Amino acid sequence: MFKKLIILCLTMGLSGFVAADSVRLSADAPETYVVKKGDTLWDIAGLYLEKPWHWPTLWQHNPAIKNPHLIYPGDMLSLSWIDGKPVLSYTSGGVTADSAPINGASTALLRQYLTYDSLIAEQEYRLAPRVLGTGEGWSYISTRTPFFVDMPLENQDWYIYRPITHFDREVGEDNVARMISLKKVGEAKLVRALEEISELKLVKQNQEIKPNDIMLPALGAKTGEIFHPQPAPSGVSGKVIGHLYGSNYVGLRQIVVVDRGEADGLDEGHTLSVIMPGAALKGVKGDMRYDSDVDNAADPVQFNLPSRSAGTLLVIRSYPQFSLAMVVDAEQPLKADMPVMAAEG
């Protein structure tokens, strides 16, 4: 079982997207399990289920527990069968004032994607303040050197970003939605706002700050989202349009951009299957060749071999037309233009 790095919530308010009798347990699902410090709820879902997003259907509400939404280290999970269907309940190991629920264990691992803006709409990108440089004309900006941006600012705290690449999606016949991926490179504090520019002081840097880097206000952390594992709505399909920071191939725990978002019903916690299309064959019986080996592209395709799932994505943040998703399972390296669809129920 690969290590799942995500925050989940055990909530019985979910109705579930699959029938309980279709839930498939893992071959080595334990009858009992004592929660350990460092576990994540996705880890535990994968311990019991072949498809962790079926967790809400397996989980059994226990009215004796004061807060059934949280699981703590020391709690014991018990697998049982009711009317021939598997259910999972738990017994509290004793919650103290210092106890921390396990749904906060992996927050830091996704902080760079959930705390800070990673994608920005093109219009917002064009209007964002830009770093001009230092008064001395130095190309390297350090925490000891004030620097200037190209407009008067009001907020006191700012994040500095470097644009990496852009992602496009056709929306209608004549409209293209575009978002820019950003990498946070530093933090700054406003010193003074002048008539047309502002002076700031760098308070933290992850790498060199350069002229033309963009500034966005630090409006507070966006971590703490609670992800409910569940398949994306039936019928949702699209494609991976690239790695957040431009890599050609991605693997486990890396972040990709998908060309579907809130407008398509996609939300945080939805799972998507990445599809490897089957090869096409051309020719005649006894002389079949792969489409890529045929000289004449106009020759008709005789057979399309079956597609298969090459991996699973978990949406961690959604925008109107796009989403960020983490690769939580992969049979092979994934790349741009691979189709995605709602994870199998």
User: Within this chain, do residues 150 and 212 fall inside the same structural domain, yes or no?
Assistant: yes
In a domain, 11, yes or no: no
Domain count across the chain? 3
* Calpha distance 266→243 (Å, rounded): 18
Position 99 scores a pLDDT of 66
- The verdict on 309 and 335 lying in the same domain is yes
Are 188 and 146 within 8 A, CB to CB? Answer: no
| pLDDT tens digit sequence for 154-198 | 999 999 999 999 999 999 888 999 999 999 999 999 999 999 999
In a domain, 85, yes or no: yes
Residues 90 and 186 in one domain: no
Say what the pLDDT of residue 111 is.
61
For 338, counting Cβ atoms within 10 Å of its Cβ (0-12 exposed, 13-18 middle, 19+ buried), the class is middle
Query: Does 18 have pLDDT greater than 50?
Result: no
Mark whether 269 and 212 lie in a shared domain. Answer: no
Q: What are phi and psi of 164, to 5 degrees?
A: -110, -55
pLDDT at 64 over 60: no
**What does the mean pLDDT of the chain come to?**
80
Same domain, 155 and 193: yes
Q: From 62, 2, 1, 15, select the one nearest 230 (Cα to Cα).
A: 15
Residues 133 and 64 both lie in one domain: no
- pLDDT value for 4: 34
Rounded distance between C-alpha atoms, residue 342 and residue 235, angstroms: 7
* pLDDT of 272 above 50: yes
In a domain, 224, yes or no: no
The token pair that represents 251 in the structure block: 């693997």
Highest mean pLDDT among 55-59, 192-196, 306-310, 325-329: 192-196
Stretch among 96-110, 139-153, 171-185 having the lowest mean pLDDT: 96-110
Q: Identify whether residues 104 and 166 lie together within a single domain.
A: no
Quick check: pTM over 0.85?
Answer: no
Q: How confident is the model at residue 231 (pLDDT cuts 50, 70, 90)?
A: confident
Rounded Cα distance between 4 and 314, Å, is 10
8, part of any domain: no
In one letter, which amino acid is 227?
F
The answer to whether position 337 is within a domain reads yes
For residue 17, what pLDDT is reported? 34
User: What pLDDT shows up at residue 15?
Assistant: 30
What pLDDT is recorded for position 7?
35
Residue that is last in its domain, among 108, 126, 159: 108
* Residue 27 predicted with pLDDT over 80: yes
14, part of any domain? no
Does any domain span residue 96?
A: yes
Q: What is the span of the domain harbouring residue 290? A: 232-342
For residue 233, give the DSSP letter.
P
| Same-domain pairing of 154 and 96 | no
Range scoring the smallest mean pLDDT among 10-14, 130-134, 296-300: 10-14
Judgement on whether residues 176 and 196 belong to the same structural domain of the protein: yes
42 domain-assigned = yes
Question: Where residue 127 sits, what CATH number does that domain have?
Answer: 2.40.10
99/148 same-domain check = no
| pLDDT for 74 beyond 60 | yes
260 has pLDDT over 90: yes
Decide if pLDDT at 288 tops 70.
yes
- Grade residue 97 by pLDDT with cuts at 50, 70 and 90: low
pLDDT confidence tier of residue 69, bands split at 50, 70 and 90 = low
Antiparallel, parallel or unpaired: β 32-34 and 308-318: unpaired
Ranges 79-93, 148-162, 288-302: which has the least confidence? 288-302
Considering 72, 92, 108, which residue would you say is the last residue of a domain?
A: 108
Instruction: Read off the DSSP letter of residue 261.
Output: -
pLDDT value, residue 277: 87
**186 near 79, Cβ under 8 Å?**
no
More confident call, 302 vs 166: 166
SS (H, E, C) 171-191: CCCCCEEEEEEEEEEEEEEEE
Buried/exposed code over 175-211 (b: 16+ C-beta within 10 A; e: otherwise): eebebbbbbbbbbbebeeeeeeebebebeeeeeebee
More reliable by pLDDT, 47 or 300: 47
> Which of 108, 136, 156 is the C-terminal boundary of a domain?
108
Write out the H or E segment, with its range, that includes residue 327. strand 323-330
Q: Is the predicted pLDDT of residue 105 greater than 60, yes or no?
A: no
Instruction: Tell me the mean pLDDT in the region 224-228.
Output: 54
Higher pLDDT, 122 or 1: 122
User: Are 128 and 197 members of one domain?
Assistant: yes
Q: Which residues contact 286 (CB under 8 A, 6 or more apart)?
A: none
Write the secondary structure of 30-55 as one string of H (helix), E (strand) and C (coil). Answer: CCEEECCCCCCHHHHHHHHECCHHHH
> What is the average pLDDT across 63-67?
51
